[in-house]
Structure 1
Amino acid sequence: MEEIKKDHKNLPEIDPLTNDKFVPEHEFDGIRELANNPPWWLTFILLGSILFAYIYIARYHFFNDGDLQVAEYEQQMLDAIPEEVEEAATTGEGGITIETVKVDYTIPLDDKADLAKGAKVFATNCAVCHLAEGQGLVGPNLTDEYWIHGGSFEDIMHIINTGVIEKGMIAWKGQLSSKQIHQVASYITTLVGTNPPNPKAPEGEKYVAPAE
């Protein structure tokens, strides 16, 4: 009888609410641990995490199929460099080396992609005063040969950068990047001689390019 009583004492207790067994000697501050299995969904998440870890290690560290966090960070830093910096980047043991190419802002761009971007900047920011085809409204006509503040490319760049506050022309420096200003100024040079409908009367002096 004594042996039966001892064995009965060693049997795990049952929780009357869940009918689960208590873990012997696992009690703290009145809280007892039940000897039940975790829910299936938690087990599924655990196994899935382990499987994902193995796939991740194999893909990124053994097969090198994809950029690690450091490479992604370096690429994001490159993407954050202002557009006006023409860059050629190489990655070595020491990280990223940026080689910059100096841009000549005294010469208009002739690349179709740059002119298309310039046209977009013009439509967004300039057309409200100069109209969509540059024929002029509040601002002067940009399609004729007459210019109020000089018609050289450097003059156009200067006016866009610094503005003419007394005439309502704001300074775009700081609102547009140097490359965007270069692009829109280059696009404006393509408007000269296009003869849009209902152009504004000429203003200023006729600009004659100096002989080369």
Structure 2
Amino acid sequence: MFTKAVPVETEEDILMDHDYDGIKELDNALPPWWKYGFYITIGVAFIYLLNFHVFGIGLNPTEEYSAEMESARIKKEKYEASNKDRIDEKNVPMAAADGIQAGKILFEANCVACHLSDGGGSVGPNLTDDYWLHKGSLNDIYNTIKVGYPDKGMQSWSGQFTPKQISYLSSYIKTLRGTKPAAPKAQQGEFYVDEVVATDSASVIKPDSGKVAKPDTAAIIKK
């Protein structure tokens, strides 16, 4: 039923009249399941041809990808619209005066052991100059506080501080840049400036661009 194989007793009836080094061939019929499966694939291929290449009803893989990406974008926008206060390392806002003051309190309670009260640096790096180990944008500072760099002695503070508190602390650290500590630690890391974008009327700063410039930059603009 499934193979239509000829019984061994009657194999001589389907023995073909050629051999290869004594090896002979039987003219067995293809198994029905194989033939029907082949016919089904032909039918599926025909439907596929009509669907995608004749009538254009279905979406090809590229169109499916684009549709899924658009759906994901819409979901992301809805989520962000309903979570406007959500803060992560991609959208850290510069805090207002009260937030910066809150960040200062956090800094003085938790960070002075490594960075000193004026941010000049001790075990940790100097936070007042233009050199940063992990870039110096507000988003970068937030990420450094959040995830830490244990191999360099910087622990993660995500378990102790809320995202809002980390944003306040990041904003306060940002205000230390350009100040004059009593005993500043030597420069560490790469020279960093916020990106400057030229416009028709003036130049404006993009605060979280993450650009790294060389020390011979013509103009250094500090926030």
Match of 1:166 in 2: 151
Q: After the TM superposition, which segments of 4 or more aligned residues of structure 1 sit over 2 Å from their partners?
A: 99-110
Q: CA deviation at 1:209?
A: 1.2
Contact 1:108 1:185 in 2 (8 A): no
Give the letter for the 2:185 counterpart.
K
Give the aligned length. 114
Q: CA deviation at 1:103?
A: 4.3
Match of 1:191 in 2: 176
Cα deviations across residues 161-208 of structure 1 (Å, max 9, x unaligned)?
A: 000101111000121111110000000000000011110011011102
Q: CA deviation at 1:160?
A: 0.3
Q: CA deviation at 1:131?
A: 0.3
Match of 2:112 in 1: 127
Provide TM-score, normalisation by structure 1: 0.51
Contact 2:128 2:179 in 1 (8 A): yes
Match of 1:96 in 2: none
Determine the C-alpha separation between the residues in 2 that align with 1:178 and 1:132. 22
Cα deviations across residues 125-144 of structure 1 (Å, max 9, x unaligned)?
A: 11110000100000000000
Asked if 1:102 corresponds to 2:85, the answer is yes
Contact 1:147 1:203 in 2 (8 A): yes
Provide TM-score, normalisation by structure 2: 0.48
Give the letter for the 1:101 counterpart.
K
Determine the C-alpha separation between the residues in 2 that align with 1:107 and 1:179. 9
Matches within 5 A, 1:1-212: 101-103=84-86, 105=88, 106-212=91-197
Give the letter for the 2:181 counterpart.
P
Give ranges in structure 2 of 5+ residues lacking alignment: 1-81, 198-223
Give ranges in structure 1 of 5+ residues lacking alignment: 1-98
Give the letter for the 1:151 counterpart.
G
- Higher-Rg structure is 1
Q: CA RMSD in A?
A: 1.6
State the identity %. 44
